[in-house]
Structure formats: C-alpha cells, structure tokens
Structure 1
Amino acid sequence: MADEKFDVVVIGGGSKALVAALYLQAYGGMNVCVFERMHELGGSWCSLERLAPGFIGDTHSSTMSDWYFLPLLYDFPKFEEYGAKFFGYKVGLAQVIKDDPENSLLIYSYFDDPTGEKSAKEIARYSERDAETFLKFDDMHFREGRREALLETIFNLAPPPDQPDPLERWYREYMKRKDAILDPQIMMMSMIDSGRALFESVEYRALMTSVIARMDINPMKPMGGGAWFIAQGRRENNRVVGGTHNIAHAVIRLFVENGGKFYTRKEVDKIIIENGTAKGIRLVDGTEVGAKIVVSGQDPYQLAFRLIGKEHLERKVWMKVGALDRSENMINCYTFALHDIPHYRAASRNPDIDTAQWVHIANGDDAEMAKEACLRYAGIEPPCPQVRCCPTNSDIDPTRQPEGKATLLVETLTLPKDFRSEREWLKYKMDMARHMINEINRVAPNITWDSVIGVDTNSPYDIGSRHLNMATGNQLVVDPNPATKGKFAPIIEWARHRIPGVKNLYATGSAWSSFHSAYCGQGYKCYKAVAEDFDLRKPWEEKGRPW
C-alpha cells in the first residue's frame, strides 16, 4: 500500500464520503480509494444484532425517507436491488398524554393519507381551524411546489450567502399571496412562538415541537416558522428493510463493482499539503498515499485542527470552526428486544396508534422540550425526559426480529459524553432503561420488565467513544441553528465543499448543507463540486434533472 497512488483518496467511509466516492468512481471515471478507521464502512448507516440474538437494531440513523436517496435511485438502477428497500407505517407520528393515556393525536403517513384528510380529522378533535391550517401546510408542501423547491435546494450546491436558494425563493413568492398564512415575521419567530401564532391547540403544537427537538431545531431558536412543515416531512418517512446498514451494503457493492477500493482499520492522521495543494494522506502508521484529489469525510474540527492544521488556514476560518457548538443534540438511542409491541390505552379510541412509526409520550406542554433543553444547557439532566418509541414486529418488518417477537427503538435526550464518568454512565444507562420502560408502561400496560428480552443501551458515551466525528456524543456532529444550516453550513467558506487555501481538497459530512441527517445529499453535492472543477460527467444534466 505504501507505493500506491490514486486519483482520489477519501478520508473516512461514512455515509456522505461513501456516496462521494461512489460518484467519483462510477461517473467521474477516477481511481478512488477509501480509508476508514473502523472495521467497516457506512458510518451512520449502521444496524447491529446487539440487543439479543436474532434481533436487529439501528444504532444511529433509523428513520428516513426514500427521497433521501433520490440521486442514487435515479443514477444507480441496482441500488434498490442491492439492499435499499424501504417500508412505511400507516401512522407517521402520534402523541399520547401520559397523565391522560387515552388522549392521543395521530398524523397519518402520506402513503395512507395522500390528501391529509385523515390527519386533519384527528387534529379537528382539538381545533377545526387547526385542521384547516394543517391542510394548507399540506397543500403548500405536496401540491404547491414546496417539496420540489426543497429537493432542488438539498441536492444542489449551496449558493453564495447573499443569494437565495430555491426554497428561499419559493417562500418569497408564496408570501406575496393574499391568502398566505406565513409572513416574514412568523418565519423569523421561534418554533414555539410561530406555532402559537398559527395553531390554537396545544396538543398539536406539543407534538410538533417534540418532533423537531429530536431532529435539528431547538424549538426556542429563531427562524423557526418553516419548522411547521415537519408534519409534512414526517408524513413521508420510512425505515429500511432489515436495518439501515443495508443502505451501506448497497453503496459499497456499487462502489466495488465500479472498481473502487477501500481499506478498513486504516486511520488517517494528516493530509499531505505542499505549496498550498493537497497531495495525499499520511496514516497513523506513517504510510503515505499519494493522490490528485483528497476528499475528507470528517467533521469540521478534525479537518481543521488535525488533518489540515491551523498553519494552512486563515485565522478567521479556524476561529469559526472552533466556535461551532456540538453540545445540544445528545440522544439516548436504545433498542429493546420485546415479546410484543406496546398496546396503548389510546388504542381504545383509534387502534392505529399501536403500529405508529413514532409515538411521543408527552406531558401536553408545547414548551416541554424547550424546558428540557434549558436544563441540559445548564448541565442538568431533566428529571423526567420525554420518551418516544418506534416499533417493529413481523407485520411491520419481518426481517428485524424472530417470528412473533418485536423490537422497540426508544429515545430520550440527555447530556454530552464528558458530563459523566464512565462509571456514572454505566449506572445512568440502566437507570434510563428503567425510566423508558416505566414511562411506556404508563400508557401501554402490556410493557413491563417481563416483556424485555434484551436491550442495546446506546448513549452519547457510546457514540462519542466510537466515532471521532461525534466526540461529544452528538449524532448531528454540529448543533444546527440558522447560522450553521443550509448555505452557511458548517461555515460560509466551506459550504460549497471546497477548502479555500488548499487546492484539490474537498470536504463533506453531516455538518455540511443542507440538513443534518443520513441523506445522501452532502456526498452527492461534494461530487458536484469536484465535477465542476475537473469537468467530470454530470448525470443530473445528462438526465435532465434540476438537481
């Protein structure tokens, strides 16, 4: 390997870097090699049989939509055949009020409820006007161009910061309408405040602010008006048959079949930079590998301070990178092996809740998650963090558990990795597992500790200990806010995947635009940047796609 040289070396085999590598190999016609520190490729596309024999749980990314992978589905006809198969749920979102466990709210998936009328009927139990407003949001997204503008934004290179992206242009045009329910002031409000300006029912607001807090927006932060489309986004969500690692299997197989090469357990220590140009990489064992192009799949911190070095960057750049926060989105992501899925008391009114994709066990306060966030920001564990659950059984996805059994993905939010010692985390993890089961039992009496076969207690401590990209335990890598999303992500200078000051060096990863998740866009857009600079094939142009 010491004598090898490639057209492209890719640092890390995570979900974004792997997609960039695939496009560079298959469409760029380049000789590409991926170097990965861990024992396998795939990054957040990870599923393990760790909770109990025969039971599969997703350890990171779990809920996604098929549109996360639209470029791959269009450009690689075998992507689905090789493992990218999805299954959906009849109900996308649900909420149960734990002090009133028969009080529930269900939002149906787009596939079961394309017009939104079934979901609106649920909302109308609390407010007829809110049901009408929900349908207006549904029309805007699915039938009046917002979804198309979103896809054009997230799968194209970010524009300069002083120019609008396609989604911003859509909002501007929409808000000119006399019947518009959004205006510039509502768009600038926090999600909590904008929700109170748009919806009467605290029940609907409580559910949606709970959902967004698990994703990428603190409901107290400004610019939260657009977050009220979260219901429409979640109405399209699916999961991957057999676990999200099957996405990794599909991409790896395509990469290798097209001539790509990869090494695992090979950690990169430095990017070799000569006269302002990236020339290759140096591994921790001292091996040097030459390349015409270097693509980093690492987080901004590692890229700036370890792989490149401050001496090769402008002070403004490394100061910005050092200021990026990564202390908020800390998820306990536990998967339980169970004898059966929860059967909720609320099923007496609507039995569809038992097979809902996500059920939030909430207190009915639209500021519940904001209050939790305030405590965590002060370094205090919330005394009773909100629990949400996502089930599978043989009827939902028969590949994840033995016949007649179930898995249950359960999440809460908590503190960063370094806030507890290893011994404290070990105790905390079991305490949290008990909290989860106790909270579920309040609303679904069939779930007790006797229901549990096994559990994978995946905490920020585990995440931060495994993944250098997520050293604090933050699964989003960098905390999102208006200044670190979209065309600003992770910093303006790097948002278009190029690294000013170091020629032939490109970067991608979850911290890059357009949003933090396991979708393929960051890797796809990184390829677009290289394709622009080196005049490589552009399949989106060949096939007439706007993205």
Structure 2
Amino acid sequence: MPDTSYDAIIVGGGHHGTIIACYLQHAGLKTVIFERQHELGGGACGEELPLPGFIQNTCAHFTRFWTHPAYTDFNLREYGLKYIFPDQNEGMVYPDGTCFVGYSAFRVDPLTGKEQYSEENVKKTYNEIARFSKTDAETYLDLLGKYQRKWRAAFREYRYSPPTPWGVKNALERLCDDPVDGIDPVYQFMTGSQIAMDLFESPELQCLFMRAIETSTGCFPGDVVGLYVFVHVIGLTLSFESASIVYGGTHTITHALQRAFSAMGGEFCVETEVDKVIVENGMAKGVKLSNGIEVEAKQLVISDLGVPQTIFRLLGENYVTPKVARRIRNIRYDRAQIYWGNMAMHELPKYKAASLNSDIGLQPRLYMGEKDPEYLSWRYQADIFTKGFPEKWYILAAPDSIWDKTRAPEGKHTILLEEFAPPLHLFTERQWLKMKKDVEDLMLKQWQIYAPNMTRDNVIEAFITTPYDTNMRHPDMIEGGWVEGAMIASQNDRFRPIPDLSSYRIPFLKNMYICSSNMHSGGGIARGSSYNCFKVVVEDFKLDKIWEKKGRAW
C-alpha cells in the first residue's frame, strides 16, 4: 500500500515516468510512481517471444539510452544497463545483388562511453558510397565535417532542452545562420524526399535516407520533417553515430532505472491505476486511485500519460478552453504504425550481396528494397494506407543476437523485422486479423529476394504485431503509432503536441506537468521529454540544476 502523501506523484510508469522519478527523488522530493500495468517501463519492455529462450523487444528496440543524461547521472551501468557497440551501423541491400554498408565514424568505449573518431571507418564508408557515386561520397565527407564540428553538439542541446519561445532561435535554428558549418534554412520546410533528392544524386542513398526517416520518426518521405528529424536521420543514415545494442534487451533500461530509483528511496506501485487528479483552488492536490484511495501530492503531480488521457480522463474537459480541447482532438496520430516483431531462426540470412561486401548482414539496421526513390516518394505511403501493404516492400532487419547472446539459445538467432503499416482506423478488426496472419509469409517472401536461405524451413517461430495490437497494449499509442503523435514539423518543438501545452506545464494548474512522448522531443526511449520536463520543474521550484553540477551546458 502507498503512503497517504508524497512530495511528488508520477501518474504512469513508462520510461519517461521512471526517468523523471529518478531526477525528482535525487532532488530531495519524496516521489511515488503509480502504474496500471503489472510492471514499469511502458515501451521500454521485452518478453520471451516468439518462444521461451528468445528475447523480443515488443515495443522500443533502437534505444541509444547510453546517450541520455540519465545514463551517467544515475550510473545506470552499475545497475546493469550495458551496451554493445558494433563497428557498423546502417546498411541496405538491393535486388540486383548490390549493397551499401555504413561503418560508424565514432567508436564507443563500452566501459567509459567515450567516443573516438575512426578514420579507418570513415574511409570504408567513403569507399562504399564512391562505388555508386563519387559526388555522394564527397557529400558524405562534407556533412560529416559539419556534423562533427557543429551539428552534433547542437542536436544534443536541442534534444535535451525545453523548446525556446517563439521568436527565440533554438540550437538547430541557430545553425541556419552559420555561413560555414550551417544547415541550409530551406531544410526547415522541405519534405523528406525533397531533402533526399537535394543532398544525394544516387538512388541508393536517396532511398536509404527516406526509409531511415520512417524508422527513426515514423514520418513518410512526403512529410515536412524539420531540422530535428533531418539532423537525427542524417547522422544514422550515413553512420556518423555508432550503433548500440542494449545487452539483455530493452527491458534492461527499465530495470536499471527502477533499481536506481529504489536505491534513492523512491517508491512505485504497479497494478495501481490513477482514476483522477484531485484539483483544489487551481492546484493539483493529489490523485484518486481506481480503488477509491486518495493520495496527497504536497508539491506536484506529473503525468507520464499522453495529452488526451491527461486532460480528458485525469482532469476533465471543463479544465480547458474549447479551443484547446479542439486542438487536442486534432493532434495527428496517423504516423509510425508498423508491422513489427521477431523471427526465431536456425541460421542467419545469407545475402547475395555478400559477394560484393562480406560484411553485409552485420548491420544492426539493415534495409532491403529497390532503388526506386520515385516509388518511395509518391506511392509507398498511398499503397500502405489503401491496401494495407506496400507493392514494393522496404523491410528493416535487426539481427541483435549476433552480438547479444542472451537474446537466443546457443546456435540460434532472433531477428527483428519492421515494415510500415496504415493507421488503425483505416481497416476493420477483421481486416487487421487477416493482415496479421498474412504479414509473416509476405515478409519471408520479400526476404528471400535478398537472402535465398530465408525459407519457412529456416524459421523456428515468429511473433509479428500490427497497429491493432499496439493500440490494445498502449492506450497512448493512438492509431497504433509508436511516437504518440506524428513527428511532423507542425507537431514538433514548440508546437508539440499543440502550442498551448508545449511547455510541459498544465497552464491552468500551478503544479501539474506532462512528461510523456507526446511532448518535445518526441517518441523514442532516449529522447528528452521527461528530462526537459524536469528542467521546467527545477525552474518553477528552484531545485538544484544537476546538469550544472555534472558540467553539462544542458
């Protein structure tokens, strides 16, 4: 049973709830997390799937949480969160037997987290690109130089800082004024496909960039993605950043955060749903649990739920103006729907492109698809939204068990597969059940184009989910999309999820906040919503600035 009062109450124990709970407890506030599920973590979860002995990340997979301030602030490696850093990052294979392999420009020491520039890997990536375009290879070096000198630091400052007010440029917008290492201002307003065509002449990199936008943000090539998405995706597409694989699966992140929180004296209650936030005289005074128990919040309440749940369920529509209520209902959730899951395999794929580069298949993110930027730009999304599946597939395969031996029994492998799907409401329940049944065979058929050994006989078992499954499991993933609100330019930064709520504060309550992925900096485990929310709380309650004590500007 929880106590009757706490300094801070966190509603929802997803990854952002556990992150901000650590910061509040560290700041001296007696903090409790209430979570309706049987365990903490939300999307930072994993299960024994598709069979016992195999570990599947059932939601978040590409976490990169070692880059999050909380990783070092709370010594999470000492609490069991360890990463493996393969020497390669992203790659793509094409039906004609050719391929691209990206080698990480920065290598990471797994013990210290220190990054070191790798001239050897840069030369390898340059040569890979030069095979199909010398011009694109030179573009790679030019972009890498700018990324190393200015973009990388600006990106991290942007991700882990609250949005600046309108009229005050943020770290990425300031780069548009840099005549040497800046970003072309027009990229703020271009679609993903326009940026791809503007940067690269080769269809190989055009297609890789467009498809990588989807994996990282859920946006389609026809979306205006903004500077944040552009810098994020270019660093991965061209393998500037090192790939990282969390040892033991994504749920290890939650376990480490929970251990750190508990070690500081924090409390959490699972299978405990908050029914309402208690409001008196313009203040959040506490919460009422679904069992009728009331718990006092002496200082603040923070919601790790999405904005619709927070406003309409925890508080009530009468607490917002009709304009704000309308804007909340108009938030777009029609991006980041995926067919997603693992196949347990007897043997790894044997790609035909290995005759060109024997390293193919050793990429934590390996895409498969045609060199057809026109299809990706114009028809891919339309096919998915109208037919359920694309005519031309662009599957992602992530073979983590190559590096992390905890993911599969000895001699076997488990490989994550991803392809994009339509929003939930476009198809009926019966249609979704049929698509769930069909998608496994369709993925295998496509895979065999690139790796002929990927036959049904090589598959031990599979567990592939659809947006229908995602929505059933995660109520805030409306329409079955993992980013909790499309990360299009009009719903990012100071507009996320709507301008009226983008400060993490509930404007009509003096001491209530939102820290979920619905806020800046968007969906994803290592993104900064909860950390930025904590910064706002620090400002409002005059708490110690942990980032200054740690020697960080942000």
TM-score (norm 2): 0.92
Deviation readout 1:200-250 (Å, 9 max, x if unpaired):
111111111011122223221235577554242353231211101001000
Distance 1:227 1:20 in 2: 24
Q: For residue 209 of structure 1, what is the aligned residue in structure 2? A: 210
Counterparts of 2:226 and 2:170, CA distance in 1:
17
For each residue in 1:296-335, what CA deviation from the matched residue of structure 2 results, as whole angstroms up to 9, or x when unmatched? 0011111121112121112222221111010221011110
Unaligned runs of 5+ in 2: 108-116
Aligned residue-pair number: 536
Summarize the alignment of residues 90-489 of structure 1 with structure 2, pairs less than 5 Å apart. 90-98=87-95, 100=96, 102-111=97-106, 114-115=118-119, 116-142=122-148, 144-173=149-178, 176-177=179-180, 182-216=183-217, 217-222=219-224, 227-229=229-231, 230-233=233-236, 235=239, 236=241, 237-292=243-298, 293-370=300-377, 371-378=379-386, 380-393=388-401, 395-489=402-496
Alignment partners' CA distance in 1, 2:25 and 2:375: 47
Q: Distance in 1 between matches of 2:229 and 2:421?
A: 22
Unpaired runs of at least 5, structure 1: none
Q: Distance in 1 between matches of 2:306 and 2:176?
A: 31
Partners of 1:187 and 1:194 within 8 A in 2:
no
Structure 1 residue 377: deviation in Å?
4.4
In the alignment, residue 128 of structure 1 is paired with which amino acid? Answer: K
1:85 corresponds in structure 2 to: 82
Contact (CA 8 Å) 1:13, 1:42: kept in 2 or not?
yes
Judge which range, 247-256 or 211-220, deviates more. Answer: 211-220
Please report how far the alpha carbon of residue 337 of structure 1 lies from its aligned counterpart in structure 2 after TM superposition.
0.8
Ranges of 4+ aligned residues in structure 1 off by more than 6 Å: none
SS, match of residue 19 in structure 1? helix
Q: Deviations over 1:316-374 (max 9, x none)?
A: 22221111010221011110111122110001110111211122111111244442223
Q: Which amino acid aligns with 1:389?
A: A
Correspondence 1:33 to 2:57: no
Structure 2: distance between partners of 1:193 and 1:473: 27
CA contact (8 A) 2:447 2:454 kept: yes
The 10-residue stretch of structure 1 (534-543 or 224-233) with the greater mean CA deviation from structure 2:
224-233
Q: Contact 1:68–1:521 at 8 Å: present in 2 too? A: no
Kindly tell me: are residues 107 and 360 of structure 1, through their superposed partners in 2, closer, same or farther at Cα, counting changes over 3 Å? same
Partners of 2:252 and 2:479 in 1: CA distance? 27
Distance (Å, rounded) in 2 between the aligned partners of 1:3 and 1:252: 19
SS across alignment from 1:218:
coil
AA aligned opposite 1:150: F
Partner residue, 1:75? 73
User: Would the aligned equivalents of 1:49 and 1:55 in 2 still touch at CA under 8 Å?
Assistant: yes
Per the alignment, in what secondary structure is the counterpart of residue 301 of structure 2?
A: strand
Segment drifting more, 130-139 vs 183-192: 183-192
Counterpart in the other structure of 2:24: 24
SS of residue paired to 1:355: coil
CA distance in 2, matches of 1:86, 1:487: 32
- By how many angstroms is 1:526 displaced? 1.3
Please, which of 523, 542, 550 is the counterpart of residue 535 of structure 1? 542
Rounded to whole Å, the distance in 2 between the matches of 1:248 and 1:209 is 31
Q: Is the 8 A contact 2:284 2:509 kept in 1?
A: yes
Deviation at 1:376, TM superposition (A): 3.9
Q: Name which of structure 1's ranges 373-382 and 513-522 shifts more when overlaid on structure 2.
A: 373-382
- After TM superposition, give the deviation of residue 191 of structure 1 in Å: 2.0
Mapped contact 2:483–2:524 kept (Cα < 8 A): yes
Q: For 1:383-422, what per-residue CA distance to the aligned partner results, in whole angstroms no more than 9, with x for missing partners? A: 44321111133x4111111111111100111122344444
Task: Give the CA deviation at 1:95.
Answer: 1.2
CA contact 1:343–1:444 (8 Å) conserved in 2: yes
Residue 273 to residue 375, structure 1, CA distance change in 2 (3 Å): farther
- 1:382 is paired with a residue whose SS is coil
Residue aligned with 2:77, SS:
coil
Distance in 2 of aligned mates of 1:304 and 1:68 = 31
Q: How far apart are the structure 2 equivalents of 1:201 and 1:344? A: 22
Greater Cα shift, 398-407 or 277-286? 277-286
Distance 2:201 2:504 in 1: 42
Once the two structures are superposed, residues 27-55 of structure 1 have per-residue CA deviations (whole angstroms, 9 ceiling, x without a partner) of x2111111111110011111111211111
Q: Distance in 2 between matches of 1:520 and 1:130?
A: 30
CA change 1:245–1:385 in 2 (3 A) is same
Which segment drifts farther, 443-452 or 187-196? 187-196
Letter in 2 for 1:204: L
**Structure 1 residue 380: Cα displacement:** 5.0
Q: Is the 8 A contact 2:288 2:294 kept in 1?
A: yes
Deviations 1:63-113 (A, max 9, x none): 1324542x1233112x11212211122321111122x1x111111223467
Q: Indicate the SS of the match to 1:74.
A: helix
The offset of 1:378, in angstroms, is 4.9
